[in-house]
Every structure is written in structure tokens, then in C-alpha cells.
Structure 1
Amino acid sequence: MKNFQVNKYGYFTEDGKEFVITTPKTPAPWMNYIWNGRWAGLVSHTGGGYSFYLTPRDNRLTRYRYNCLPWDQPGRYIYVRDKKIANYFSLSWAPTIELKYDYYECRHGLGYTKIITENLGIRGEVTYFVPRDYDIEIWLVKLKNLTNERRDLDIFAYIELIMGNALNDLINQPNDKHFPDVYFDGDLKSIVATRRYWVTNRGVSVAQPNHAWPYYLIFSTSLEIKGFDGDKEKFIGRWRSNANPEAVELGSCFNTEITAGDPCAVIQSELELEEGEEKEFVFFMFLVDKPSLHTNERLKRNSKAYNKASEILNKFKNLGFVHQKFDELKKYWDDYLKTLQVKTPDEKLNLFVNVWNRYQIAVTFDMSRNAGYYHGGLLFGTGIRDQMQDIFGELIANPKRVRDRILEVCSYQFKDGSMLHNFFRISRTGEKTGHCDTPLWLPFGIITYLKETADFNLLYEKVEYYDGGSGTVLQHLIKAIEYSLNNLGKHGLLKFGRGDWNDTLDYVGVKGKGETVWGSEFLAYILREVIELFNYLGLKQFLKKYSEEYLKIANNINRFCWDGKWYIRGFKDDGKPFGSSKNREGKIFANPQAWAVISGIADEERTKMCLKSVEKYLDTPKGPKILHPPFTKVDPSIGLATRCVPGKKENGAIFNHVASWVFLAELIAGNAERAYQIYHATLPLNNAIDADLYKMEPYVYSEYVTSPDHPSFGEASHSWLTGSSDWFFKSVVEYMLGVRPTYAGLLIDPCIPSSWKSFSVNRLFRGVEYRIEVLNPDGVNKGVKEIWVDGKKYGDRILPVFKKGSICEVKVIMGKI
């Protein structure tokens, strides 16, 4: 693929692995993640963003100011000052945005961001990344003299620190500022920063564990250090900002150390560049453990922490070692992507499925809905529902990580089968909200993992319950289902509680009587999947019961919830239906139509009718809406959805997560052309052509796009951390291209546009590389006539599982059967 220009702001490189932004003045900060599963940072195209370790609330390292414009401030800033003329600029454009730059370019890659600028006759390049095997953040810098005279430069590297609880920093900063300790260690030639008091239970209570932040943060460089600052107020100066720090303007840091105040870490170095000369150096920050949570001591020479810091400093001041780590990072992502590659006639689909869709899923696997510009990382922690959906892409490349995640999620289940809705990893606290769908996502994740790996030993591993005692993973799975089956209402449907997948339907069941159709379809889906699993394993104890329960729920939905042309959304506490043709607003919701098909509870006739209703009432040029018509009046019996402005969020937006389910339902129903239309209608590449309207990054899915029910139709919001990336990926690979994992092997069942004459899928499955070529000579949407495996005709649509490390050549011929 040649460089693919998306809009006036940027393009994809030929290999698709970088998105290049050619002007800093994008409609919003376009960002990326640098992370390794433990250390993480958000980096915008102008160097903005923050870093954290393990969790963005309790272990925030650098500060992020909420409600800023633009909303990516502050960041990782490197100022370059010419000594002779006393002028300066930032290598990332921000925060010195009022200056005229001669050149700007940002390259967002897989796990790294590179920003290139030219100003004052200096070409600067900074690459931000986090190695896979070291918890350290690296800023690799190149400076080149573009003039014909020698240049004497001052270099200032700046970060603003929190070192602890970000929520406490936001709401209690005047008191929290009494505890930072920032100083320069002359032996380590580094800034060392820590905090004497660490808040981990930031709620309305003032009661806190009495301990220190358990780390020393080290900030250093490969250059010789001329000066430093730990006091932000002194470095910036009075009545100034990051755009014009007093120390930079004067050309000299103040060498401040603080034991209270607003902490920062600034390193000043000098650099000489001859005519045309280029030099490379590095800034980096990392953590070392304190010896105790109860110590307020500074880093002691020859201590374990000191020696560890010294070891890391020696390694990363070596530019050869830094380049090695960067090369290893790029190789990691190359290997990650190689585990699944598709080649279809659609280059946009190839680009997304092979690279950016996959990469976004990797981000959501680690960030959940927690650490982003739109998910502040302060209140909700990590969601169970999100964790068990964000596994599809990771599962192919790193099944062990998914296995560990499932065991972790099991540990947040109570003995009765209920679960925390969300949790915080360090404190292991969370909230039990009463969402009816939360317990069911655990069996969903387990089943998804088992179909990919056939690692049935997982079922017999013991995991503690959140409220004490322990059980096998199989017992955890059964408890989740039993809890749900014991939570049915008047119509034999799952009770709503404080919400289902749609959190904003939070008052439908607040009195304990409301029932959810989508949640009941999801329960039916889980029952059907568990029946298949137990059949495969010969676990007969629950088979009869769950088969009967599935039929009961399916019958109840079809008996009580069919509205004539679609399924209603549910029953409120007063027993009245909503999402019905009888309602004036919110007549039809997409969720119950899609999941009626996905769960298998709708027969062929009702499948056609409910999907046609979605197309008729919910369709827009940018994908199906979540509901129609939107609510214009507050309905206290429904909840927050009715308070959202019409056309945005859950009140009638094009909610991409929901759109992905409609896409999947159309594929299951065999409607390839309709599904393909939905895919392209929702594809960020297409919607971001008008970037000034769309605003969000064109290389990842956003949570929603504003619908025609609002004047800003086409504007997107809440990019990156959305389950739509996972579900579009899963639906394309498993149901459109039709390469789907089962317990017995890979099932081949494509559902493609009739114009496609061929496509291929290379996929790693249980250690075997499957090279699958699909031919469609008759131009059909669906139907497999022949399968050839390693040159021999094969009589089954489920491919055999070969020995690990082997390669399986598969040819599939589609046609009318």
C-alpha cells in the first residue's frame, strides 16, 4: 500500500505502521500510548499527556490538568535555547505554540511517538517509548544544526510530578503538596523524587493507610547536567506558564529542591553543534522500590534501591542499549501483528484489521476504560465487563496474559456469584453496583479463551472469592450463571438492577422489578455457549437444567417482548414496556435486535423483521443509532439516557459498540452486503475524511459519533478506549472472513461481499500457522463447496489441529451448495 492520505492533517505510511501528522493544529489532541503493561504513558502529537505505573489513579507519576484547552496539558517538554540570541522553542511544538516553526511532523507508531520540528535553524527529533522489559520511559533526542555556524545550546527537559493519587491531587492539592520530596543526587547525577504520604483510599473518608509512596522516581540524562529544578513555581516563574518558563528564558535553572510545594523535575544540559552536526542523547525516568512503606528517608548510597538505580542509569545512558530496546519494541509489535494477517480486496479493511484495530485492542486490554483523555483514570477503575471483552486481539498473540486476566477477574467474584462491577488493582477495592450483566462477562471471557486455546486445565484452577473461600474457575463460572438465573423477574427475564450494558438505563430497575431484554438475551447466549462447552467436555451435571433454562428464557423473550416488528428494550419497575412502538420516544433500541440474532433466540422470520427495523429506523450514513427517536424529555423511570442531549451518547448517538453488534448480527443472518455497508459507514478512516467535523483520531475507533438528531452530526468523541474496536475485529475475522475458533479447531464459514473474488487469512492458532486462501469464483456471499488441507480434499469445515510449530496450507472454494 502506498502512503494513504486520510485527510489534510495526516496519512498512513506505506507499511501502515505509522500515522504521520503533518500539522500540529489538529481539531483535537491526537494521541498514542507508550506502555508495556505496567508503565504507561499517554502522548499527544504535541508531547502532551501523563504517565502512570500499574494504575492511573493510585500511581500517577506525572500531572494531567483536567478541563484544559487543549486537553493534553502538561506533557513531556524539551526546550532548546540558543545561548547567543537567547531565543528558545519546544521540540514538540507545545507549549511554545505561538512561535513560527519551519517544519513539524509527528509519527504515531506502535508503542512509540516521534515528533520532528525545525526552528531557529535547529532540527529536533524526540522519540518517546517504553521498552517491553524495563519499566522506564525514554525520550530519545536528536538535534541537528542546519546552519553554517556553530551553535551553543541549552537543553531543558521538563515534567510536572504527582507521584501518587491523582484524584487526591485534583481535589486536595493544597494539602497534598506538603508531602513531595524532590532533590538532586550528585552521586547518581539524577533528580530523585518521592512522596512521604500516599493516599490509596481517596473517597469521602479522611481515613487513610499511614504510609509513604513506595518508590523513588529517578529522572536523568546521558548528557552532563548543568542545572536542575524541583520547584515548579520557581522554574516557571510568577505570572508565567509552560510556554515561557523563567528559567528557560534566563538560560539557567535555579537548582531548587523541595520538601513541600508543587513538584517538577527539570534537567538542564548544554550542547555544542558545529555546522551541519547532529548529536543524539536521551532523557529517561524510572522507579526503584523503597525499602519500606514507612520510611521517609532519601535514597541511601549503597542501599539496594541505590544500587538498582545506579545499574539502570548505567544501562540507559548507553545510547546503543537504548536503540537496542527500541528495536526490540518494534520487533515485538511486528511479531504480535504477524499472528494474524488478512489480505482482502479492501485496503482500508486490511489496514485496520492487520494493524490499527489490533493495536487499539492491545491498548484497551491494558487500559480498559480507565486511562485516557476521556476516561480520566480517577473514579471508575477497571471494569469487569470491559476486561472480558478486551481480549480478542490479545488472545491470538498472548494467550497467557488473557489466562492471567481471567484468574484475576475471578478473584473479584463473591461466593454468591455476584461481582464487583469495577476495581482498582493496587488497593483491590471496587464497587458492587448491581449491574445485572456484570457476573455474566466472566463466563463470556472463560469461554472465549477456551475456544482459542483448548486449555481446559484452566477450569480446575482454584481462585479465592472476594469475600473469602475459594473455588475452581469452573465453579466461578457456574456461580455466575446460577446467580443470574436466581435474578429473574415477573416475565422470567433478567432483572435490570442499576443497569445492564447500557449504564444510563440506571432507573429502569432501581426498585428491583424492572427487566432487561438485552440482558436476558445475553444470559441466553451464555447458557447456549456453556451448553456447548459442557457437551464437549462431557460435563452432564448441569446440561439438562441449562438447556431447559435457555428454552424458557428464549420463549419468554419471544412471548412477552416481541412488539410486532422488533423486540422491546425491557420492562420498567412499574411493569410498563419501553423500547416499544407504543412509546412516543425511545421506540426502538438496537441492542435487543442485534442480540436476538447473536443469542439465537429469534427465528428466521423475526431475525429478518427486527434487522429490517434497525435499518429502517436506526440507520444513518455513519452507521446505526443506538435508539430512535431520542428522548427530548426526562423520564425518571428510565434514567440518565433521557438526560443526554438528543443525538449524543446513549440518547440516540451512533454508538460504535452497538453498531459492531448490529454488524455481527447481519453477518450471522447471512446479510453480507448490508454488513459490509455498516462496516464502512462506521470505519474511522471514512468518517475522519472531514476531520474538522469528526475531530477524533482517524486511526482508532471512538465510542460514538453524533447522529443526525443533533446539529453536530458526524462529530466523534471518546476515542481509543471502546469495546467497538474489539467487536469489529472479532466480527470481521470470525464471521465475515469466517475463520472462527471452536473447541475442535478452526471453523471456516465466510460471509463476504459478492464482489470479492478471493481473500486470505494467515492466523496462528494453538501454535499452528494456518495459511488460508479463499476463492470465490461464483461471486457468492456465503457457502463453502470445497476445502483442501495441505493439498488433500478435506471433508469438514472445522480444520484439524496439527502439531505445534507446524504450517497448514488451506484452500477454500466458495460457491452455492
Structure 2
Amino acid sequence: MKYGYFDAEHKEYVITRPDTPAPWANYLGSPEYGAIISGNAGGYSFVKSGANGRIIRYRFNSVMNDQPGRYIYIKDRENGDYWSASWQPVGKDLDKYRTECHHGTAYSRFVSEYDGIESDTLYYVPLNKTYEVWKTKVTNKSDKPRKLSLTGYVEFTNSGNYEQDSVNLQYTLFVSKTYFRNNMILQAINENIKGHAGPDDSDEEGRGIWRFFGLAGSEAAAYDGDRDTFVGKYRDYSNPRSIENGCSNTLNFNTNSCGALQADIELAPGESKELVYLLGAYAEKGAKEIMAHYQDLSVVDSELEELKTFWHAKLNRFQVQTPDDNLNHMVNTWNAYQCFITFIWSRAASFQYCGLRNGLGYRDTVQDIQGIMHLDPELARERLTLMLSAQVNNGGGLPLVKFDHRPGFEKTPDDPEYGAETGHPAYRADDALWLFPTLIRYVKESGNWAYIDEVIPYANKEEGTVYDHLKRAIQFSLDRMGAHNMPAGLHADWNDCLRLGAKGESTFVAFQLYMAYNVFIEIAERKGNKEDVAWAEKLREELSRTLQENAWEDDQFIRGFTEENEVIGSRTNVDANIWLEPQTWSVLSGAARPEQAKLALDKVYEKLNTKYGAMVCYPPINRDGHPVLLMSLFNPTTKENGGIFSQPQGWLVLAETMIGNGNRAFEYYKEINPASMNEDADVRAIEPYVHGQFIEAVDSPFYGRGHVHWLTGTASTVMVSLAEGIMGVQPEFDGLRIDPCVPDNWTEFSMVREFRGKNLNVQVKNPNGVQKGIASIVLNGTPIEGKLIPEQLLKAENDVVITMG
């Protein structure tokens, strides 16, 4: 069934049926203030950290699901009927209640109509601000005057820490109370305590932790600050006592805090009224200043336009027009926007990640940077510098980089304190190796060669140039090699369920190391460092030899060796006798010989491909209690146990383009493109406009169902495969290479690409229906040789005509 459509002009996804098979969400705000909102206004908000900065509640994995959230109730005071500006929580009969939810770039808008009353409600966080705005416009479309009550509602947490707020009820219920002042509900937590809050969320004497929920555009006729009074006994959000009877001006003391502000209005036929609700973590002084800003409600229009301009300017750096509308929607808006959201919040807060990860995963974040590289290279540089400063002086990466990371002064997995604080007591084999593909992409995208010599501290002590950091990352692997002279798998090697240990070896990491040598050699050659070039070339040759001797089995690469020398991913294994990661990375790294690359990818297509993407391994693992293969804990073809794990799908698409197989690359992409499931959303369940972490595969009775939305490295890997692989736009040190790899039935397509401050309008013609190959490139009317467009030939605006052949 179809629940909505893509609006390419406005860069929105419009939900036309609110009874979606799962909550379909959007993200508002920034790292300083984040908000998640569903297509039924469910969700939560937090300041800086979803783990320790939660300000409103959301109940995960509950029935009713997707509650509570940011609600606006509308009541007809003459007949007593009431509904909500979003379909839920009241949930009126959809035969009588019409609604649309427009999810856009950092805003969501709900347009609903019931019983002759239209409401148009906008939710957003103003750019660079740390509070949120709900603007609602109510219009009387009936032919008679109407007397209405509008009540905005939130349920506050009693502790910023999500876990404490949920379970430590013998404490948190007795530290929170509310006040009504200046058209606001103010919540105070630990009001008698000084000094454990920031300047914005403590009062003028530095006491307590404060939040506010305010109303602009009307005086509050009534209010409630006590949740239990507002909802009433044995009721829920669909039928609150204070909506049926009116708010009772009851404040919280020793129970649960809420904010409920009731405005009574009258509308003549055709008349409209606008109100604004404001929510944030501010004490009274700061809240009053924010409230004053919205005395003129027209400021909302300018703030919304500012948001759109900000985000659309980023997304417009790369736009495509191809024969496939679903690909266009994802490249031009949703995959790109998801890359930014995942970059911003890593894996910290969604409807599955409950917000308890109080930091950035190293490997996650360094990979996520790649997805925004072509859209905002300087933002990418800032985060890349942070992650380099989270590299330990032994070359490894901190598994979790805390939000308050202090370069040069951090404990590491070698210190017991680090594991106790973060829950990550061991190094992962792959963490620092992700620096190589990410860093080389940054330097080539930006042209900032000087970055290679920038001095950055290590996490625990010492400092070094970026070049030194790369060399130490290689040394980290060299210091941890196994019996076959391949890198150890350690605690994990990207696959968190594969624990190969200090002596077990990972073919996947071996291919990462091979890529690292390639990148390091390219940089060392450009620096003129012949000694380092020779060092890395010798090591690369040794690694190539051991991979050929130990990891290749006729037509596929193995996954690795256990500490007991058992082969994982051998074609002779009963379970998991082929794995996706080593086949794709043998090609991405350049380690596979041409004939091996084709054989390995053909084997993936034969053994792992499904109509919803390629499984991460198959058959699923069924070994009781195997200490290495932890994925056996999962049901068959679920998550890492043979599921369609989504992140490697980008690697697979990119690998196929590297060997020139545009038909198959595009086939894989269509299988995993969320937009291609828009017509059959009941199967996929999660949003048809963003990638999820995995899809249940062939052994599941719910084959095709998606899980863990939004915050996934899939956004980045797929974006790279689209931009660099299918569309073929590949930055180089000296210019921009364009070498598409497309289905042979694409006769023409176009792109707009910004590169180092220059705009390129690219028309690609494919008259002979080839999958890959360039016959000619014409830049501003002049033919150029080869596939590289030199930077020095680019003007401010450029017309490029490419003929494939």
C-alpha cells in the first residue's frame, strides 16, 4: 500500500495516510538541540545529548506506540467534540478526518481538516537556536461561527538522563515541580541545588534545571503542569480529562510534570487565527526573551525560509536528473539529507536508538563523513579533525569518542577507566583504517593539500601531522598481525558480531589495510617521500601475496581465521560459506586481480542476492554458542546472521561500477532504494525515504521488512556509490574525473555539481547504450583529453557535455 509521495519541487515527503506501518520520522535541529518527530507528531527533544539531555518523554517499544510527543488538541466548546492537529493521539475516523504530513529539510508540517476546521501546524527548530517552535494556524471553513479551545501539550522528563527518568522513580518523581508564569509552564528540577546545570537552564542564582513551554499569540485561558491531572485516571492521550473538561490550573508537585496551555478562540466563517507554542531548556529569564521574539508571529515565516535556504543550498551542490525518478529523489534530497542527519547524530538518538550512547562511534563517524564530503567539505574537515584527535598514539582509534572529548588527555582501551566509563574496553581492528578513504576524499574534494601537514594531537598524548597519523594507523595493524600475516580481527572488524580476537585474522581488515597502503603511497609520492613509498610498496606486495595464498578459494575470498586457525567463510563451511564484505572490499581495495573481481562479484550475485538486496552471509549461522560467531544469537537471515545488512550494499554497488557493470550496479541499487518500495510500504514498514540498518531476508516470514531507521552508515556508503560510482563524479588532486557507470538503457542524463567553488552543468549522452566508457568530453565548447577535467580550466560556471562510448 502507498502512504505518501515525494514532492521534488519542495524537497518534501508528503504522508497522505497517517496510519503508516511504523512511525515515519523526521529530524529537526542541530547537535546543540535535537528533535525527532513522527508523521503523527510523536517523538522527543534533547539538548546536546539524547542520553543526558532529554527534555520531553517518548516511550519506546510500547502500545500505543509512537507516544507521547508534541500535541495540539482542538475542541469545539459548543458540542464538546475534540481532535488533534495531527491524526494521533486522538485518532479520529479517517473517513471524516483528512490530514497530510509534509516532512521537509529540518521541518515538518501537518495540514488537517475535521468538522469544518482546518489546522496548519509547523514544527521546526530555528537555525542555530536551542529551542523549538510549533506554529498552528486554525481556519474556520464552515458556514457558522465556531468557539474552539486549542491546547498545546508536552510531557516533560523528570531527569535529563533517559534511563534515570524511566526507572529511578523513587528519586525522580520527587525532584520536579512546575509553575505558571508569563503565559508559560516552567518546570524546575532540583530547584534548591546550585551549579549542576548550564547558564541557560538554571535560574539567575544558578539553581536548578529548568524547562519552559510557552504560548505566543494568545493569552492562556487555562493550564496544567501535572501530567496525571491532565490525562486523568485510567485514560490516555486520546481522551485526556483536561481536554474533555478543560484544563484545571493544576501544577506538579511530587508526580510527573507536563506543559498544557489552553487558548480559547472564536472564529467567524472563513476567519483564521495563529498561535505559536515554544519549548526549550531555559529558565524564566531566557524563556521570556524567547517569548518576546514571537510577539510578531510573522518571524516564523522568515525563520522557515532561512532553514530551507540553509539546507537546500547544501543539497543543491549535487543534483541529478536521470531516467529513474526514485534515484533522483534520493540523490537530490533524502539520501543526502539522511547523510547530514547521520553525520550530526551518529547513532545517538532515533526511535530505535534510545539515546544512551553518549558519544560518537569511531568507525561510524569516520565513514559518515564520506557521505557529506561533496556537499559540505569544510564541515567534513571539522569532524575529520576531531576524529584524528581521537586516534590513540599507538595508531588505533578510541571506540567511542565522548561528546566532551579532550584531545591529549583521554584514557584509552589500555586503561581500565576508559572501559568502565564508555562500555568499550577493547580496540576494534578497523577503526583507524577508515581514515584513509575518508581523508583522501576530503583532500581531493577540497584541494586542501596543506591539510596533510596540519598538526593534530593524539587522543591520549603527543601530536603529529595528519601524515604521521596515517602512518601510525598502518603501524597499529602491523603490530597486530596473525599467523598468516594478515591483520588481527580483535574485538570486531566492522562486523560487531565477529570476534576473531588478538590472534584470529580478518580478510576484511586485510583489504582495508591494502587500501590504506594505496592511499598512503599516493600521498607519499605527492610529498616526494621516496623512503615511505618504498616502505609501503614492500608491505603492500607482502600483503598481496598472503591474500592470494591464504584467502582466495577458487571463486571467492574467505572471511578470515579464528584463533584456532578455523576458516570462517570457506566455501566448504556448512554455515555462512560466503560473506559479502570480503568480496566487495577485494574490489574496492584493488587487491583482487581482474579475473578474481569478476568471479567474486558473480558469486555474490549467485549466492547472496535477493529481491531486497544482498545478504551479508549465507546460509545463516546455526552453531550453538560459538564464541566467535556472535550473530548466531539472531534469528536466521536477521541482522548480521544472514540478513540484508544495508551498509555493505553501497560497497557492492560501487564495486560493480568499478568493474564496469552498470546494469548490475543499478539492479542492486533498485533493490535497496527505499523509494522503490513506496508503492509497497506495508512490506518495508519503515520510511520509504531513508535507509535502515537491515532488511529481513529469505528465511524470515516477514521477508523485506526494514528495521532501525535513519541513523545508519548505509546513508553514506550508498551516497558514495551513487555519486562516485553510478554518476561517476570522482574528485582528484588536480581536477574532477567524470566516468559514469550506468544501465545500458540510459540514453541521456544530467548533473549539477559544485567543485571547489566552481559550478559544473553536466550533460551525459549515451547514444550506443554502453554501461561504462567515455568517448569524448567537451568543456565550455572545447574538447579535452581523457576523463579528467583539470581544475585550472574551470570557470565560475561551466557547461560540460560528455558522450559515453
Q: TM-score, normalised by structure 1?
A: 0.91
Of 473, 480, 484 in structure 1, the residue corresponding to residue 473 of structure 2 is 480
Alpha-carbon offset, residue 573 of structure 1: 1.4
Question: Partner residue of 2:345?
Answer: 367
**What does the per-residue CA deviation read over 1:501-527, in whole Å, with 9 as the maximum and x for residues that have no partner?**
110113x32xx2111111111111122
In structure 2, the partner of 1:409 is 387
Are positions 1:756 and 2:734 aligned together?
A: no
Question: Which residue number corresponds to residue 204 of structure 1?
Answer: none
Matching of residue 237 in structure 1 with residue 232 in structure 2:
yes
Task: Kindly provide the amino acid, as one letter, of the partner of residue 758 in structure 2.
Answer: V
Which residue number in structure 2 is paired with residue 124 of structure 1?
119
Structure-1 residue corresponding to 2:442 = 449
Question: 245, 262, 270: which one pairs with 1:268?
Answer: 262
Post-superposition offset of 1:569: 0.5
Aligned to 1:397: 375
Structure 1 position 542, deviation (Å): 2.3
Q: In the TM superposition, what is the alpha-carbon distance from 1:199 to its structure 2 partner? A: 14
Segment drifting more, 543-552 vs 41-50: 543-552
Cα displacement (A) at 1:579:
0.5
Judging changes above 3 Å, is the alpha-carbon distance between structure 1 residues 581 and 194 closer, same or farther for their aligned structure 2 residues? same
What is the percentage of aligned positions where both structures have the same residue? 33
Match of 1:572 among 562, 579, 588: 562
The aligned residue for residue 691 of structure 2 is: 701
Q: Say whether the 8 Å CA contact 1:143–1:280 is kept in structure 2.
A: yes
Question: Is 1:419–1:432's contact at 8 Å kept on the other side of the alignment?
Answer: no
Residue 70 of structure 1: how far off its partner (Å): 4.7
Is 2:33 aligned against 1:39? yes
Are 1:420 and 2:372 counterparts?
no
1:497 correspondence with 2:490: yes
- Residue identity opposite 2:350 in structure 1: G
Gaps (5+ residues) in structure 1?
1-6, 202-210, 289-297, 300-305
In 2, are the aligned partners of 1:36 and 1:131 still within 8 Å (CA)?
Answer: no
Q: Distance in 2 between matches of 1:614 and 1:700?
A: 25
Tell me if 1:252 matches 2:255. Answer: no
Shift of residue 251, structure 1, vs aligned partner: 1.0
Contact 2:371 2:717 in 1 (8 A): no
1:434 pairs, out of 427, 451, 463, with 427
Cα distance in 2 between the residues matched to 1:374 and 1:94: 20
Distance in 1, matches of 2:558 and 2:754, equals 41
Match of 1:160 in 2: 155
| 2:557 partner SS | coil
Residue pair 1:337, 1:355 contacting (<8 A) in 2 also: yes
2:324 aligned residue: 346
Deviation at 1:476, TM superposition (A): 2.6
Alignment match of 2:631 (pick from 641, 645, 650)? 641
CA distance in 2, matches of 1:131, 1:16: 19
* Pair 1:15–1:70, CA change in 2 (3 A): farther
- Could you list the runs of 5+ residues in structure 2 that have no partner in the other structure? 197-204, 407-420
Could you report, residue by residue, the CA deviation over 1:376-422 in whole angstroms, capped at 9, with x for unpaired residues? 21146421111112223422232222111112222322222222212
2:410 paired residue number:
none
One-letter identity of the residue aligned with 2:512: F
Q: Which residue of 1 aligns with 2:505?
A: 515
Structure 2 partner of 1:146: 141
Change (3 A) 1:400 1:150: same
Secondary structure (helix, strand or coil) at the match of 1:225 reads coil
Q: CA deviation at 1:801?
A: 1.5
Deviations 1:496-551 (CA, angstroms, capped at 9, x unpaired): 11111110113x32xx2111111111111122112112222334452221222222
Of the three residues 533, 548, 551, the one matched with 2:541 is 551
Please give the residue correspondences for 1:647-666 in structure 2 after superposition, counting only pairs within 5 Å.
647-666=637-656
C-alpha displacement of 1:718: 1.3
Partner of 1:282: 276
Which residue identity is paired with 1:450?
V
Change in 2 beyond 3 A, CA 1:630/1:266: same
Q: Give the structure-2-normalised TM-score.
A: 0.92
- In 2, the alpha carbon distance for the partners of 1:286 and 1:380 equals 20
Question: 2:583 corresponds to which residue?
Answer: 593
CA distance in 1, matches of 2:781, 2:267: 63
- Counterpart in 2 of 1:50? 44
User: Does 1:19 find its partner at 2:6?
Assistant: no
- Cα–Cα, structure 1 residues 37 and 316, in superposed 2: closer, same or farther, change >3 Å? farther
CA distance in structure 2 between the aligned counterparts of 1:558 and 1:23, rounded to whole angstroms: 55
Answer whether contact 2:320 2:328 (CA < 8 A) is retained. Answer: yes
Please state if 1:328 is matched with 2:321: no
Q: 1:329 to 1:774 in 2, by over 3 A?
A: same
Contact 2:99 2:112 in 1 (8 A): yes
Superposed CA offset, 1:730-763 (max 9, x none) = 1122122211011221112221222222222210
Write out aligned runs for 1:183-194 (5 A).
183-186=179-182, 189-194=183-188
Which residue is 1:4 aligned to? none
Moved more, 681-690 or 490-499: 681-690
Q: Structure 1 residues 544, 196: CA separation in 2 closer, same or farther (over 3 Å shift)?
A: farther
- Code of the residue aligned with 2:236 in structure 1: it is S
Aligned equivalents of 2:19, 2:207: Cα separation in 1: 38
TM-superposed CA distance for 1:459, in Å, is: 3.2
Residue 202 of structure 2 aligns with which residue?
none
State whether structure 2 residue 296 is matched by structure 1 residue 318. yes
1:294 matched residue in structure 2: none
User: Residue in 2 aligned with 1:467?
Assistant: 460
Structure 1 residues 677 and 76, CA gap change in structure 2 (3 angstroms)? same
1:734-745 mapped onto 2 (5 Å cutoff): 734-745=724-735
Report the Cα offset of residue 462 of structure 1.
Answer: 3.5
Alpha carbons of 1:517 and 1:158: their partners in 2 closer, same or farther (altered >3 Å)?
same
Paired residues of 2:8 and 2:329 also in contact (CA < 8 A): no
| Structure 2 letter corresponding to 1:216 | W
C-alpha separation in 2, matches of 1:569 and 1:237: 58
Query: CA distance change for structure 1 residues 468 and 173 in 2, over 3 Å: closer, same or farther?
Result: farther
Alpha-carbon shift at residue 358 of structure 1 (Å): 1.0
- The amino acid that maps onto 1:239 is Y
Q: Deviations over 1:659-707 (max 9, x none)?
A: 2211111111111111111111111122343222221111111221111
Structure 1 residues 105 and 590, CA, compared in 2 at 3 Å: closer, same or farther? same
Specify the code of the residue in structure 2 equivalent to 1:561: A
Q: Using a 3 Å threshold, how does the CA distance of structure 1 residues 564 and 742 change in structure 2: closer, same or farther?
A: same
Q: Structure 1 CA distance, aligned partners of 2:800 and 2:794? A: 17
Partner AA of 2:55 in structure 1:
L
Q: Contact 1:687/1:714 (CA < 8 Å) preserved in 2?
A: no
